[in-house]
Chain A
Amino acid sequence: MPAIMPLFWHMLMVGWITQIIIGVSIWMFPGRNREEGFKAQKWGWLTFIFLNAGLVLRVISEPLVSISTSETWKTLLVVSAILQLVAGFTYFTEMWSRIMSKKQQREKRKRQRERSKK
């Protein structure tokens, strides 16, 4: 039972709250790429894949690590930790340049328009 408590908290805080924040911010923050598809929105897709793969692996392996000595579960738990951290980095990469003032946003749009004219 004690092995279940961290899972409960992380399914709530990572699987629900953090994931909804990430999803809504990718949609609502300025500078979104409106083109659809994996290539156009690769950092968002990678965040989604890494975060959920990491969390699912954790849900499977963490309780088993506490009751088994198998190396498989230990390795999967390490992989889950790395995947979730990588999701943090991909989300950071997507968002950092999108945090901008209205003036910066206007300048960015102007640059994009000039580039598309050429």
Chain B
Amino acid sequence: MPAPSRWMIRLALIYLLAGMAMGAMLLIHKAYPITPAVWMLLPIHIEVTIFGWIIQLTLGTAYWMLPRYIEGPPRGRPLLAAGMVLALNLGILLVIIDTLIMVSFPLQLTGRMLELMAVGLFIFLHWNRIVTYRTKKA
């Protein structure tokens, strides 16, 4: 398993635990209300479980498992893969921070742009890896 996949899958597991802990808190609050502020966790719970867990684990696993290049770096330029990991996680963090604190800087938009950049890098890195190794018989 290459390093970017290991980072993404480990981070996805951490996000899963964080997302599940927030979900559990929200569920307990439905039965025994703690404080209305608990509802602030809902958008973070959604962000963390969808982008941090599901999307991150899928991208990390695909980077590892899709067919590799026969010549040159087997999974494309490693720097771009590192950029993909960084952009996705920085994006998620910025969106979370925007939910928690009020700032004049458009954090949410910046975060979403970084997430979009990560997806763009993923497509760029994998487009030519979607191939078959079988060749047609003459």
Known: A92-B16, A100-B1. A21 touches B57 (CB 8 A): yes
In the assembly, what is the distance between CA of A88 and CA of B9, in Å? 14
Within 8 A of A (CB), among B2-56: 2-3, 6, 9-10, 13, 16-17, 20-21, 23-25, 27-28, 30-32, 49-50, 53-54
In the assembly, what is the distance between CA of A14 and CA of B28, in Å? 17
Binding site for A on B (CB under 8 A): 1-3, 6, 9-10, 13, 16-17, 20-21, 23-25, 27-28, 30-32, 49-50, 53-54, 57-58, 61
Say whether B20 contacts A85, CB under 8 Å. Answer: yes
Known: A74-B32, A77-B27, A85-B20. A17 touches B54 (CB 8 A): yes
A32 to chain B, nearest CB (A): 13
In the assembly, what is the distance between CA of A78 and CA of B23, in Å? 11
Say whether A81 contacts B3, CB under 8 Å. Answer: no
Interface of B, secondary structure class, is helix
Say whether A101 contacts B31, CB under 8 Å. Answer: no
Interface of A, secondary structure class, is helix
In the assembly, what is the distance between CA of A89 and CA of B18, in Å? 10
Say whether A99 contacts B1, CB under 8 Å. Answer: yes
Total of A-B residue pairs, C-beta within 8 Å: 72
Instruction: Indicate the member of B10, B17, B30, B49 with the most A CB atoms within 10 Å.
Output: B30
A77 (CB) vs chain B CBs: closest residue:
B31
Say whether A99 contacts B54, CB under 8 Å. Answer: no
In the assembly, what is the distance between CA of A75 and CA of B1, in Å? 43
CB of A102 closer than 8 Å to a CB of B: yes
Known: A21-B57, A82-B24. A99 touches B31 (CB 8 A): no
Instruction: Indicate the member of B25, B31, B53 with the most A CB atoms within 10 Å.
Output: B31
